Amino acid sequence: MGTSLLRPVRALLLAATLGGAAWWGGAAAAAAEPDVVPVHVKRILLVNQSPAVLLVDEPEERFLLVFIDFFMADAIQMGLRGRTLDRPLTHDLIGIFLRQLQARVTRVTITALKKNTYYAMISLHAQGRATDIDARPSDALAIAVRSDAPIYAASALLEPYDGRVAPPAPPAEQPPTGQEGAT
């Protein structure tokens, strides 16, 4: 694709990313930021045969367990290990878009838990402007590990951590679905 064709594509993507809040869930982006703490991906694990991301704070005193699907578990694990495939996965493609637009992910924040679903924000900076984009936590984490962006979580979401994870068992009438949610 020639340079003349790339300019309109870049302009459209930048407008959508930085100015098109409605496109990217801008209402959530405007919400006030909760008290957040830095966390990191400790590991991906199986809990009751469902994959989950274990996030721990920097002194490893508190944790957050976010259930994800198997595809996202693989995507996050690949990002942690710096592995890529011959053809880019969705999160790799997003990284390519960001680099082409000279944008960078400045942070990812797990912001809230509503009706057993976690919410996250991806903070971007491009061309002197900053914006927040509403995202699923699993997508946000897959992008964060690929871009070496810091990860944060709302302090209220974290539980005491002693090196073991023992989330409560899901209710018998509703087995885990593999979708992101609380345990």
- The 3-state DSSP class for residue 67 equals strand
Side-chain-facing half-sphere of 122: CA atoms under 13 Å = 31
Instruction: Report the phi/psi class of residue 60: left, alpha or beta, with left for phi > 0 and alpha for psi in -120 to 50.
Output: left
- pLDDT at 11 exceeding the cut of 50: no
Report the pLDDT averaged over residues 38-47: 95
- pLDDT at 6 exceeding the cut of 60: no
d(CA 83, CA 138): 17
- pLDDT at 150 exceeding the cut of 50: yes
pLDDT band at 22, cuts 50/70/90? very low
- The DSSP secondary structure of 99-153, one letter per residue, reads HHTTEEEEEEEEEEEETTEEEEEEEEEETTEEEEEEE-HHHHHHHHHHHT--EEE
Q: Is 155 within 8 Å of 141 (Cβ atoms)? A: no
Q: Is 159 within 8 Å of 179 (Cβ atoms)? A: no
Domain ranges of the chain: 3-160
Q: Is 152 within 8 Å of 34 (Cβ atoms)? A: no
Question: What digits encode the pLDDT tens for the residues 57-108?
Answer: 988 999 999 999 999 999 999 999 999 888 998 999 999 999 999 999 999 9
Report the pLDDT averaged over residues 11-15: 42
Residue 167's pLDDT is: 52
Place of tokens 């680099």: 99
Residue 34's pLDDT is: 56
Topology given in CATH for the domain delimited by 3-160: Bifunctional nuclease domain (3.10.690)
- For the sheet containing 62-67, what is the strand order? 129-135, 117-126, 103-114, 151-154, 36-47, 50-57, 62-67, 159-160
